[in-house]
Chain A
């Protein structure tokens, strides 16, 4: 039985990253200068994760303004509208507006994987995709497509992203933060099980679904558990009591638990208390593998704290390995 860690999503922007994006927007940096600076910034982030022994790493995605933007920038028939609050954060995303059937002009992930794969080795790279449920429901549909047709169309493009990197041995994560909304009913989510399974079946051994910001109701989580994603990621800290209760009730049968136990929205020094250790120990009896992660992406805190959180995650892997007797995994594959 093994334990390992990975960061859930994007890193925040360092001063250099902020200035790089600003200077590109102002036309001070040409494309070559811009991409070479970004390479440097992303390399540092990948290096930090490798240095902390994380077998799966993100490239940092510091050039992503929000989870949807890199995709809609490369798709026809989608534009962006005003700002809307992103869940309960003091952070706003630009609303994707679908004016027709989305049509990808170029992939988001393939060029990134080609750029960063060698840098990441021996760790594996992770690709992160906005899940169809969150994508559809956080967008505006100004097209003639029905909601179902839009979800099908988005799912199809997300699948093509995966197809293109299938040979690259990457970890695939589909983010569905909206599934954590405690007001959702089973009926609102169940239609998406088929879409999730279409995505997961392309890469069933190395794909995850990630739910964060809150803890879903049991009836909604039961649908997630029916999915073919091998890994299921849950934010355990934001609503700790509810998360532990849910995991005690349902467990994660047939899935590898990915537990968000490092608070990615706050800057305090996290602690791994007995309650968490007990929960991890219990889950480890049902799975040959446990993954520890951050509660959400790290881009909601300043860069220096994101580096600290990376270190804390690595420390937690060591603690769990030692106290629960799980072998610490350094390589994912």
Chain B
């Protein structure tokens, strides 16, 4: 049974979702080396099913596996790819840390990393498309320590070649939407950096018959915008709500005409956006007159992982309701 994604204002998610209890249990057991592969799989299947049920309850059109198996968006891939070794605790904010991985050799894809989770999510999705989501090579490098390459471009391109294999595995499994997360790109908003990513994306996405998406968030995206418009992708998925839609006039200024993942849910606040508020925020984009409703995907600014589950669910529900109203209005 194939689900019919609405033609106008389809709703989607960026990827991560609050860790559900079985996933938390599984990750604890992994850290303590206390579980068998079968037990872990059982826990993760349960967690992914919970995420998909929440997405379906909210009515999201294009869903995700909630990244339940990923302790962190970089560490998950780094721990599994050859050429990486585990790092030590590095602070992200306050007293919160991640184990910033270390590249110590040539990176190599070890075999499918996300395909199993994608399949599990798809099996519960009642025909709705599930995004295949992976951390992009630029962010993989930026948020790792590099002791091997010493040359940023060379490292990014090598990572891109290996991550291409993951994308092919997802596509072979049936994924129709591929999203590459590059939040680090907004932190160095210079042309020479954007050029590296453009080259990497060509390697990763050339010749694939899928919806190609790049997600960027939380930074001075307006500075990088003019350099990324030529990227070989169908859609940019961008954060708007948290930065109070500061980016909107720049879309017009730079003649933005690709599809847009329009972030209308702030993932850094537990305050739930009302349906009316989201409709008003959609109107802000529509007033610009630069994109038709068919090119606008309504979604949160970023992954929802830092929110309590109930808040995340309700935020998605209101987002979907707002998109329904928008479909009638525009």
Residues of chain B touching chain A, judged by Cβ–Cβ distance below 8 Å, are 87-95, 97-98, 100, 102, 142-143, 145-147, 150, 184, 186-188, 218-219, 223, 242, 268-269
Contacts and interface: CB of A to CB of B under 8 A. Distances in A.
Interface of A: 12-13, 15, 18, 21-22, 25, 65-66, 82-85, 87-94, 183, 266-268, 299-305
B92 A91 contact: yes
Contact of A13 (B91, B100, B150, B268): B91
A250 to B, nearest CB: 22
A21 B93 contact: no
A91 B98 CA distance: 10
Nearest to B99: A302
B268 A266 contact: no
Contacts of B91: 12-13, 91, 299-300
A85 B218 contact: yes
Given A22-B95, A90-B143, A302 B187 contact: no
Given A83-B268, A267-B145, A267-B147, A88 B187 contact: yes
A219 B147 CA distance: 35
Contacts of B142: 88, 90
B90 A301 contact: yes
A21 B90 contact: no
Contact of B95 (A21, A82, A83, A267): A21
Contacts of B90: 12, 90, 300-302
B92 A268 contact: no
A90 B92 contact: yes
Given A88-B188, A301-B145, 9 more contacts: A15-B89, A65-B93, A83-B268, A90-B98, A90-B142, A91-B91, A92-B92, A267-B102, A302-B90
Nearest to A15: B89
Contact of A183 (B92, B93, B223): B223
6 contacts: A13-B91, A22-B95, A183-B223, A266-B145, A267-B147, A302-B89
Nearest to B102: A267
What 4 A-B pairs come out closest when comparing CB atoms? A302-B88, A88-B187, A92-B93, A82-B268
